């Protein structure tokens, strides 16, 4: 079942066209990695999927009843955000704000969702800790739990492992794969790491102004664009 469809889309950033005639779709349960060089429009595309930025032309739609309230978003962190003076529990709970519908207090069901997602991501023991006192890897787990509370069907992750050491990076990739395979959550992730993308995702969208690619990871490994930017093809 298709959740997002993109047809002949052009996107611009600061009056410059960064993406032209883009076509792809995201199905339920997919794990899509968006890759490409700096300035290729990866983050701009994510913002368009979230409805935060319009398209210059073409159509980018949520399909089959998907709404923005069912999508969790993990943006790139700023220095100020990393120093946020709130407890881990408060940060994760803030992911439930879109569910509240003007209610004054969080419900017991929402509190249960928060505790369950913290447990799944191995941070329940950090519940009372101050967010800004955590390591980078712990903070990203907290933000993943928050995103899960915000969106039960789909997560959009913008460079979630930036600045993390290799061991913590691998742990986070494994958590994201667990969320996709075991919890059934559709994943769309922007990544600068081409080799990690093909190791984890089942679909690849490679943004390039002249010849963007969309397809399965297996197809991507055999493509000219992978050989150009990533290395040898699977046939060599």
How far is 219 from 203, CA to CA, in rounded Å?
9
Which segments within the chain are labelled E, that is strand?
2-13, 16-27, 31-36, 57-62, 71-74, 154-158, 186-190, 203-207, 213-216
What does the pLDDT read at residue 103? 65
- Burial classification of residue 27, based on how many CB atoms lie within 10 Å of its CB (0-12 exposed, 13-18 middle, 19 or more buried): middle
What pLDDT score was predicted for residue 99? 63
What pLDDT, on the 0 to 100 scale, is given for residue 80? Answer: 58
Say what the pLDDT of residue 231 is.
Answer: 63
Quick count: other Cβ atoms within 10 Å of Cβ 97? 12
Q: Which residues pair with 156 in a beta bridge?
A: 73, 188
The residue assigned the tokens 């990739």 is 173
pLDDT means per 10 residues in the chain (236 residues)?
A: 94 86 95 92 90 90 90 82 87 83 76 94 95 93 95 93 92 96 96 92 91 94 90 50
pLDDT for 235: 44
Supply the pTM of this predicted model: 0.91
- Give the contacts of 67 (CB within 8 A, at least 6 positions apart): none
pLDDT at 233: 47
């Amino acid at each position: 079942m298709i959740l997002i469809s993109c047809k002949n889309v052009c996107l611009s950033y600061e009056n410059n066209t960064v993406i032209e005639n883009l076509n792809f779709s995201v199905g339920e349960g997919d794990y899509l990695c968006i890759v490409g060089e700096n300035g290729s429009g990866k983050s701009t595309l994510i913002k368009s999927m979230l409805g935060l930025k319009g398209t210059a032309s073409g159509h980018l739609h949520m399909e089959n009843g998907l709404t923005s309230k069912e999508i969790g978003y993990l943006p790139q962190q700023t220095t100020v955000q990393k120093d946020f003076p709130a407890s881990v529990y408060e940060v994760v709970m803030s992911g439930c704000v879109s569910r509240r519908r003007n209610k004054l207090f969080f419900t017991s069901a929402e509190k249960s969702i928060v505790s369950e997602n913290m447990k799944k991501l191995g941070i329940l023991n950090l519940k009372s800790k101050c967010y800004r006192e955590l390591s980078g890897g712990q903070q990203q787990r907290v933000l993943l739990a928050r995103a899960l509370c915000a969106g039960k069907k789909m997560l959009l992750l913008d460079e979630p492992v930036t600045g993390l050491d290799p061991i913590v990076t691998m742990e986070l990739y494994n958590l994201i794969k667990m969320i996709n395979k075991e919890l059934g959550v559709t994943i769309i992730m922007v990544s600068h790491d081409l080799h990690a993308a093909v190791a984890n995702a089942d679909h690849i969208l490679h943004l390039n102004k002249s010849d963007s690619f969309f397809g399965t990871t297996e197809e991507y490994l055999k493509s000219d664009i992978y050989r150009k930017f990533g290395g040898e093809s699977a046939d060599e």
